[in-house]
Amino acid sequence: MVAWRTWVLAAVILAQGGDGIRITQVQVPQTMQVGGDGELFCAWEEDTDKMYSIKWYQGAQEFYRYTPTARDPIQIFDPITLDVDRDKSWGGTVRIANVSLDAEGPFHCEVSADGPTFHTASDSAMLTVVDLPDGAPVISGVRSQYLPGDWVDLTCTSGKSKPATILNFTVNTKPAPLGWLETQIDKEDDDKLFTSRLRLRFSLLPRLLQEEAGSLRVRCEAEIPGVYSEYAQDILTTRPPYQASVLGSSAPDGENVPAHAAAPCSFCCYYYCFFCCRGHQHHHHNRLFSETLPAASVTRHLASFLPVSVPVIVSVTRTH
């Protein structure tokens, strides 16, 4: 038993150094995308030996063999995890294509010497396979308009990928405070792909709004370091989607004008009777503004929703 162990140890030493054949370099792409292609490279030194064959393994499965003295020097053993491009493979260089997620792992190069020594040397390198999302992340939960102090509740979702993407929110170009974020959720499906979600919640404080635009910019970035980076962004605004002009020629008091000409979504109406603006935008039969009212009557209607100290000025445009 001791003699057998000594022989095995001696064989390992010869394989790794000494006067026997030895491998000097093994290269595989550090990262490949699903469906992508790349090149494997194996170099060796023979010393007193002469190379007989080179073999490549993915895990324990041999998928390529080069034997220069054979009638057909190249043999390919079709693996299910990748394809081998025969026309671009020779010697210790192998071109692989159409890799799948299952191709991830160690790739071994094995070089064998001819007789009488039949020395064998082996070395390996790791391949990482990634499956990228089909597109950019998506931000959901954005409303058409907000009021200062409203609660903002947004979710950023990144499509299926491996590994899971890293999600980050920024607000007005600054990283969102950790207190506004929930822990990222990465849900794995049966195909070993991850769908990632990150939730952002905060109060729309006036200090966050850009003074003139009355808005802020929210951006979600999705990243797989070194291979993928995409983002989505939205603008949260406190301005109404449709803001009618409050300028124009005045109609004489007592003259009937269409209610929509009375600018129901003017600045004062938006900030002091927000619900009536919403009703006008989404339902033109809103009771307050669906009727044809005298200009003075429209003024009285608006005034009924405003604080006593706020003056009401309504300018209307004559329509024909």
Print pLDDT tens along the chain (320 aa): 333 333 333 344 434 445 689 999 999 999 999 999 999 999 999 888 899 999 999 999 999 999 999 999 999 998 999 999 999 999 999 999 999 999 999 999 999 999 888 999 999 999 999 999 999 999 999 999 999 999 999 999 999 999 999 999 999 999 999 999 999 999 999 989 999 999 999 999 999 998 677 899 999 999 999 999 999 999 999 987 655 444 444 444 444 444 344 434 433 444 443 334 444 343 433 333 333 344 444 444 444 444 444 444 444 444 44
Sheet containing strand 61-66, edge to edge, reads 31-33, 120-130, 105-113, 51-58, 61-66, 74-76
Name the helix (H) or strand (E) containing 279: helix 274-282
Q: Is 64 exposed, middle or buried (0-12, 13-18, 19+ CB in 10 A)?
A: buried
Quick check: 269 and 240 in contact, CB under 8 A?
Answer: no
Domains parsed from the chain with CATH numbers:
2-130 (2.60.40.10), 138-237 (2.60.40.10), 242-320 (no CATH)
Name the helix (H) or strand (E) containing 202: strand 194-203
Number of C-beta neighbours around residue 184 at 10 A: 16
CA 313/CA 315 separation, integer angstroms: 7
N-terminal to C-terminal alpha carbon distance within the chain? 111
Query: Which residue in this structure is represented by tokens 């494997």?
Result: 40
Q: What local confidence, expressed as pLDDT, does residue 251 receive?
A: 45
Q: What local confidence, expressed as pLDDT, does residue 163 receive?
A: 96
The torsion angles phi and psi of 180, rounded to 5 degrees, stand at: -90, -10
Q: What local confidence, expressed as pLDDT, does residue 242 receive?
A: 54
Q: What local confidence, expressed as pLDDT, does residue 291 receive?
A: 37
What would the DSSP string read from start to end of 24-71? EEEE--SEEETT--EEEEEEEE-TTS-EEEEEEEETTEEEEEE-TTSS
DSSP state of 99: -
CA 263/CA 289 separation, integer angstroms: 10
Q: What share of the chain is helix, strand, coil (3-state, %, to 5)?
A: 15, 40, 45
Q: What six digits make up the tokens of 100?
A: 């799948």
Strand partners, 88: none
Q: What local confidence, expressed as pLDDT, does residue 115 receive?
A: 86
Q: What local confidence, expressed as pLDDT, does residue 49 receive?
A: 87
CA 95/CA 37 separation, integer angstroms: 7
Q: What local confidence, expressed as pLDDT, does residue 19 receive?
A: 64
Distance from chain centroid for Cα 234: 16
